[in-house]
Amino acid sequence: MYHGTTYTPPVETDTMLLQVTVGCKHNKCSYCNMYKELPYCAVEMERIAQELQYSRSMYSKAERIFLVDGDPLSLPTDRLLEIWALTHHYFPECKTLSTYGSVRSLAEKSDEDLSLLEAAGFNDFYIGIESGSEDIIKNVNKGITVIQAREQLNRLNSAGIDHISLIMLGIGGKDKGVNNARMTAELINSTSPKMIWASTLGVFEGTQLHDDVEKGLFNQASELEVLEEEKELIRNINLQNVPFYGTHITNTIPVSGLVTRDSNRMLETIDMGIDYLGEKSLQRTFDRASL
């Protein structure tokens, strides 16, 4: 039984989920409505054990389990290791515990903590970096800096933990996209993620960003600008054979492939999409249903 709405990365759709925290400890990003009404708390171990017991009756095999909600890495390392031990008790075949995580939570973990997590089987941390621009990250109240993001992601690399970079196109607003793309590519190039996921900013009721848009404090980028931003991002990522997914439900033209091997093909796909939809219709911003 889960509290609130459960969000998972699209590639983890078939992965067994285990709720170990409710909500997000930070819960202050200006664009985010995911856990607005949900006070953050850790799920009691007894409840996690009950959930695992129940799941065992449902799943004949689970070699990979995804922890939810927003930032399970906010739990102390001892607690995470306890969760791993309990998971292994019910699912001895489980090899990997994957999770969302924040740069803030990583900064609270020592190198020894990260080594212990890696040795236990924690891997594939989905980290919302969103942008490589210090100004933009500050404006959306992400609660981190780009310098911190670079440092913490490289600490994961040193610990042997793979991470997936989640970025958000359009997050800088009007006229900021191309520069933002270059800075984001720079951050990505210097942190070697296992995968890159690009979604597009949406403005949802109840968020600070929604208020800012209403007050004229934030001007949204047009769809065309967002697509040009995505192209600039793809052009500037110089990693080899790293999957790039621009297929999130919020994206206007889905593209995916390996950078840099498939970069030209992805750029052509976006250009063909722009031609098909017409630049005129892309001069506005589409409404988006969810993050």
Task: Give the binding site for ligand SF4 (CB under 6 A).
Answer: 24, 26-29, 32, 34-35, 70, 102, 128
Instruction: Tell me 160's DSSP state.
Output: T
Least distance in Å: CB of 290 to ligand SF4?
12
Least distance in Å: CB of 64 to ligand SF4?
22
Least distance in Å: CB of 51 to ligand SF4?
21
Measured CA to CA, the distance from residue 88 to residue 96 in angstroms comes to 10
Q: Which is nearer to ligand SF4, 34 or 169 (CB)?
A: 34
Least distance in Å: CB of 68 to ligand SF4?
11
Measured CA to CA, the distance from residue 19 to residue 66 in angstroms comes to 8
Q: Which is nearer to ligand SF4, 62 or 146 (CB)?
A: 146
Q: Which is nearer to ligand SF4, 173 or 224 (CB)?
A: 173
CB 200 within 8 A of CB 168: yes
Measured CA to CA, the distance from residue 182 to residue 236 in angstroms comes to 6
Q: Which is nearer to ligand SF4, 97 or 129 (CB)?
A: 129
Least distance in Å: CB of 63 to ligand SF4?
27
Q: Which of 41, 97, 94 is nearest to 70 (CA)?
A: 41
Q: Which is nearer to ligand SF4, 31 or 84 (CB)?
A: 31
Structure tokens at 214: 């209403």
Helices (H) and strands (E) in the chain, counts: 10, 10
